[in-house]
């Protein structure tokens, strides 16, 4: 496994920007679109998002359209076109939006997705389906599958592609749970938003690699984050960390992306603490961390 430390030793921190800049631009033009998840810069206004992400080396924005997001779902019809225009007119892209939609029957679902599609957004991430206290796990998985099918039908009607995110602790974290429902759907409109970090947390032996191969034929988007298991007095806990410092085998995963010729959005997440006591400091620290993680990601994934 190639670690961040190995990589830094190889290329040298001081020469990183100059050495990688030409290759980064060429690869980004032909390959995936690297985006910054706007959750991590909540205090940055629409009009400033493009400058922030471009300065950090990203191509675009994974825009939150959910409660407490950059666009509120109930305001999507009015505000989402304005937000997208504010970003794209300043040179960045908005290839995907992150929502908390879990049902096509949500009053916000159709206006949100129709507006996103009309605004040029190609992909959306739905929300999560929780396990309940019931012991009937199969029934819960079946209900989530029905909800996914409903959202896929709505996505087709609206002209936007859905990528379901695998998140530890929720239905679909073990991708086999939702694969039967997904297999019944049109791959043009429904696929996976794959998260290697959560896949490794759920199946760190070989299962996460099997899950990677499972999703590749209908992979829509990728989420980037890393973690390791840390032992405490109370047991083992998950510790989120910068890319390359954790347990995800990025070299292996990057090879799978290249084999698949993946060209969709890759969204950078910063689930580890980046610091800052004021809004300005938090934004600056988050962007600096994202810039470092992006340099690593470009090198091993693109």
Higher pLDDT, 10 or 48: 48
For domain 4-301, which CATH number applies: 3.30.1600.10, 3.30.470.20, 3.40.50.300, 3.20.20.150? 3.20.20.150
Q: What pLDDT score was predicted for residue 254?
A: 98
Q: For 284-300, write each residue's pLDDT tens digit.
A: 999 999 999 999 999 99
Question: What stretch of H or E contains 191?
Answer: strand 190-194
The mean per-residue pLDDT over the stretch 123-149 comes to 94
Exposed/middle/buried for residue 289 (C-beta within 10 Å: 0-12, 13-18, 19+): buried
Q: What share of the chain is helix, strand, coil (3-state, %, to 5)?
A: 50, 20, 35
Backbone φ and ψ for 119, nearest 5 degrees, come out as -85, 0
pLDDT recorded at residue 4: 55
Instruction: Give percent above pLDDT 70 in the chain.
Output: 90
Residue 25 has pLDDT above 90, yes or no: no
The more confidently predicted of residues 7 and 282 is 282
Q: What is the mean pLDDT of residues 108-125?
A: 99
So what's the pLDDT on residue 203? 86
What tokens appear for 19 in the block? 């050495």
Predicted confidence band at 2 (pLDDT cuts at 50, 70, 90)?
low
Q: What is the pLDDT of residue 66?
A: 98
Q: Strands 123-125 and 226-232, how do they pair?
A: unpaired
Residue 141 in this model has a pLDDT that exceeds 90: yes
Predicted pLDDT of residue 290: 98
Residue with tokens 């997904």: 182
**Where residue 205 falls among pLDDT bands split at 50, 70, 90?**
confident
23 has pLDDT over 50? no
Mean pLDDT of 158-186: 96
Q: How far apart are CA 37 and CA 225, in angstroms?
A: 11
- Say what the pTM is: 0.89
Ordered by start, the domain boundaries in the chain are 4-301
Span 265-277, pLDDT tens digits: 999 999 999 999 9
Q: What is the pLDDT of residue 19?
A: 38
Q: What is the dihedral of CA 15, 289, 285, 127, to 10 degrees?
A: 160
Q: How far apart are the C-alpha atoms of 142 and 163, rounded to whole Å?
A: 18
> 3 pLDDT band (50/70/90 cuts)?
low
Residue 93 reports pLDDT greater than 50: yes
């Amino acid at each position: 496994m190639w670690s961040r430390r190995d990589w830094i030793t190889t290329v040298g921190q001081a020469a990183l920007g100059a050495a990688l800049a030409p290759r980064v631009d060429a690869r980004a033009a032909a390959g995936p679109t690297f985006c910054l998840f706007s959750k991590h810069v909540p205090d940055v206004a629409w009009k400033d998002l493009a400058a922030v992400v471009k300065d950090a080396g990203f191509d675009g924005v994974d825009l939150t359209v959910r409660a407490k997001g950059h666009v509120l779902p109930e305001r999507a019809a009015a505000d989402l076109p304005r937000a997208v225009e504010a970003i794209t007119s300043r040179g960045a892209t908005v290839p995907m939006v992150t929502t908390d939609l879990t049902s096509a029957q949500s009053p916000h679902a159709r206006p949100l997705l129709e507006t996103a599609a009309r605004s040029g957004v190609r992909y959306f991430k739905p929300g999560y389906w929780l396990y309940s206290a019931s012991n009937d796990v199969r029934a819960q998985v079946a209900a989530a599958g029905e909800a996914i099918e409903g959202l896929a039908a709505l996505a087709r009607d609206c002209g936007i592609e859905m990528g379901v995110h695998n998140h530890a602790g929720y239905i679909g974290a073990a991708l086999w749970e939702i694969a039967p429902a997904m297999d019944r759907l049109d791959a043009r409109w429904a696929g996976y938003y794959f998260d290697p970090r959560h896949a490794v947390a759920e199946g760190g032996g070989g299962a996460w690699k099997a899950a990677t191969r499972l999703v590749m034929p209908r992979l829509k988007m990728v989420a980037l984050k890393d973690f390791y298991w840390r032992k405490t007095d109370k047991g083992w806990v998950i510790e989120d960390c910068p890319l390359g410092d954790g347990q995800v085998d990025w070299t292996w995963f990057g090879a799978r992306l290249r084999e698949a010729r993946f060209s969709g959005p890759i969204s950078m997440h910063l689930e580890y603490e980046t610091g800052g006591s004021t809004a300005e400091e938090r934004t600056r620290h988050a962007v600096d961390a994202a810039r470092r993680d992006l340099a690593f990601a470009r090198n091993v994934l693109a």
